Amino acid sequence: MTAIETARAELEAKTGTEIGVSDWITVDQKMIDAFADVTHDHQWIHIDPARAAAETPFGGTIAHGFLTLSLASKFSYECMQAMPGQVMGINYGFNKLRFLTPVPAGSRLRGRFTLTAIRQRSDTELLRETQLTIEIEGRDSPALVAEWLGLSVFEAEGG
């Protein structure tokens, strides 16, 4: 059996099951401000704690939705290991993505992953669909849910 065939069989056996839960990470104002600087998104609900406390229902600043989403990569490194013969993983995009709950500065987040589908695209590529939920510690509703696509690329057999 080739490396990709072995990986496909292992992943198909895990389809429909939770494959990992990451550690918690704190999203503090310093992280939010740095993200604002990198993305040039300086909307006051993210970077002005006094105004956000006075003029929003959030009680203070909130993280950018895209900051929350960008942490998915960190969470996935903790939960999804490369398979034997895999030479790289590529973010292939999203089928669905919803930001459900604002993330107040100082919140702790973690990622929860469930493998929902696997499809072989070629002799060297497996396309994985994963249900991603980014949870906010102490909240019933998650920050976001998404159907995330990842391409696992394997070494060509014989080369």
For the stretch 56-102, pLDDT in tens is 999 999 999 999 999 999 999 999 888 899 999 999 999 999 999 99
53 part of a folded domain = no
90 part of a folded domain = yes
115 part of a folded domain = yes
Task: Give residue 157's pLDDT band: very low, low, confident or very high (50, 70, 90).
Answer: confident
11 part of a folded domain = yes
Task: Give residue 159's pLDDT band: very low, low, confident or very high (50, 70, 90).
Answer: low
> Based on the structure, what is the number of domains in the chain?
1
What is the reported pLDDT for 82? Answer: 85
**CATH number, position 137:** 3.10.129.10
41 part of a folded domain = no
Question: What angle is formed at CA 19 by the lines to CA 13 and CA 23, rounded to 5 degrees?
Answer: 170
Average pLDDT of the residues in 124-147: 98
**138: enclosing H helix or E strand:** none
56 part of a folded domain = no
β-pair partners for 91: 150
What is the reported pLDDT for 123? Answer: 93
CB atoms within 10 A of CB 24: 13
51 part of a folded domain = no
Residue-number span of the structural domain to which 70 is assigned: 3-27+63-154
- Asked if 39 and 24 touch (Cβ cutoff 8 Å), the reply is no
- Asked if 109 and 24 touch (Cβ cutoff 8 Å), the reply is yes
21 part of a folded domain = yes
Predicted confidence (pLDDT) at residue 158 exceeds the cutoff of 70 = no
Average pLDDT, the chain: 96
